[in-house]
Homo-oligomer: A and B are copies of this chain.
């Protein structure tokens, strides 16, 4: 055991991300109950702070808060999953459209280098970082499109998407390869708004169509092993 662990106080953000990671990486299965005391023991913080983090997770749709019952990892239905993708298409198509007319040279450079990073992680077999970078690509687009609000909304939707993929994505299919992202960047670079919109639409539809409606794997493991510091 590490004696240092108790010294540096853990921030709420860190707790949030730790749980987020565990859910997105399929370590905690959908439907799993998250007891407040259990979490407060694991992270060595008071229940009050755990409670606050749980509220934030609930707001972002990763867990469900049932009054007097507690917190459960969300179990998005296939309808909710499709709704998430509908919302994402709505927002992201508009964002790339706008980007085509507003993006500058350094913006294009950031997109390109990001796709490069994705390529590296993908070919290196680092699944976890590949998934994370894939989400970050979409967030980068929102950031560059200079809409703080849509960027914030999209952040939530991407979190939800991670959970959905954890639930419904077929095992063998990895996250969207970086090629489609590259195609999006190309369209933006060419300032072809119509094409960029179409490519983004196709990209999101592609991911949605990979969903497997049958599977319902529930991996229930010991929380302490997964989240332990």
Contacts and interface: CB of A to CB of B under 8 A. Distances in A.
B84 A149 contact: yes
Contacts of A210: none
Contacts of A80: 148-149
Nearest to A48: B48
Nearest to A87: B149
Nearest to A94: B90
A140 interface: no
A216 interface: no
A69 to B, nearest CB: 17
Given A59-B59, A153-B153, A87 B52 contact: no
Nearest to A59: B59
A54 to B, nearest CB: 12
Contacts of A59: 59
A171 to B, nearest CB: 27
Most B-side CB within 10 Å, residue of A55, A80, A86, A149: A149
> How many chain copies?
2
Contacts of A91: 90-91
A179 to B, nearest CB: 27
B55 A150 contact: no
Contact of A52 (B55, B84, B94, B153): B55
Nearest to A52: B55
A150 B94 contact: no
A116 interface: no
Contact of A87 (B55, B84, B86, B147): B147
Nearest to A160: B149
A80 B147 CA distance: 9
Contacts of A94: 90
Contact of A83 (B48, B52, B149, B157): B149
Nearest to A61: B149
A19 to B, nearest CB: 18
Contact of A149 (B52, B148, B157): B157
A148 to B, nearest CB: 6
12 contacts: A52-B55, A55-B55, A80-B149, A83-B147, A83-B149, A83-B150, A84-B149, A86-B147, A87-B149, A87-B153, A90-B90, A90-B94
